[in-house]
Amino acid sequence: MDSTVSLDILPGTVDLLLLKTLSWGPRHGYGVSQWIRQETNGRLGLEDAALYQALHRLERQEVVTSEWGLSDQNRRARFYQLTDKGRRRLTEELSQWHAYAAAVGSLLSATPCGGGEG
């Protein structure tokens, strides 16, 4: 926890993260936040405010729906769930992300070649 390296998150990545989180089943906002923090050891500098904004935005885009239900500790909480549209979006964005990551990754690990002489 002490060695927090704050990583500024790339735009659009939050949505993808949320979709991924929700792909395992309905979760409330706190659950999502908790999961991300645990998985990244809190290194991702994602404010909860931004997380909730993204959740509500995704709901407006109808890729997730929300419903009030009871949490594990029997407290009333708002649960978010992927819709069919959300599932499709996740698949799409995942493949885009992987293609992007692969492309950037290959560039970053490349060695210079003699293309200069043409």
Partner 1 sequence: MSGFQFPWRSRRMIEGEIEEEFRLHLELRTEELVANGASPESALRQAQEEFGDIDAARRYCRGEDQRHERRRRWRDTSEDVVRDLGYAIRSLWRSPGYTVTSGITLALGLGITVAVFSVVHGILLRPLPYPDQDRIVTLSQVDTRRGSREFVSAANLRDWHDRSTLFSAMAVAEPFSVDLFGDGPPVSLQAWLVSEEWMETLGLRPVLGPGLRPEYFLPGAEPVVMVSYATWLRQFGGDSLIVGRSLTLDGEPVLVAGVLPPTLRYPSVSDLWLPRAFQPGDASARPRNYLRGIAKLRDGVSIEQANGELARISTVLQEEYPRINAGIVAEGKPIVDELLGDVRTDLWVLFGAVILLLLVAVTNVVHLAIARATKQGRDIALRAALGAGRARLIRQASVENLLLVVGSTVAGFGIAHLAIRAMVLWAPADLPRVTEISFDPTVVAAGILAAILTAMTCGLVPAVFSLRSSGSSLLRATPSGGGRRDARFRHGLVALEVAMAVMLLVGAGLLGRSFVALLQQDLGYETEGRLGFTIHVWDKYPDVAQRVQFFRDAVDRLATVPGVESVGAGSALPLSKEGSEIRRPVQVDDELPGDQPAPEVVLTYVTPEYFGVLGIPLQDGRMFQRGENTAVAIVSQEAARQFWPGRSPLGRRISLIGDVTAFTVIGVVGDVRYAGYDDRIAPGLYLSNDQVGFGSMTFTVNSALPTNAILPALQEAMTELNPLIALGGIEEFRSLLGDTVAGRRYVLGLLGGFSVMASLLALLGIYGILNYSVALRTREIGVRMALGAHRRVVTRLVLRQGMGMVLSGLIAGLLGAFAMQRVLASLLFGVSATDPVTYVGLSGLVIVSALVAAWVPATRAAAIDPAITLREE
| Alpha carbon distances (Å) from 103 to 7, 18, 111 | 21, 23, 14
CB of 9 to partner 1, least distance (A): 13
- By beta-carbon proximity to partner 1, the closer residue of 84 and 117 is 84
DSSP, residue by residue, 13-44: HHHHHHHHHHTTS-EEHHHHHHHHHHHHTT-B
Task: Please tell me the distance from the alpha carbon of residue 52 to that of residue 118, in angstroms, as a whole number.
Answer: 52
| Residues engaged in binding partner 1 (CB under 8 A) | 28-30, 33-34, 47-50, 52-53, 56-57, 59-60, 62, 68, 75-78
Q: Residue type for 111, please?
A: T
- By beta-carbon proximity to partner 1, the closer residue of 62 and 92 is 62
- By beta-carbon proximity to partner 1, the closer residue of 65 and 97 is 65
CB of 112 to partner 1, least distance (A): 42
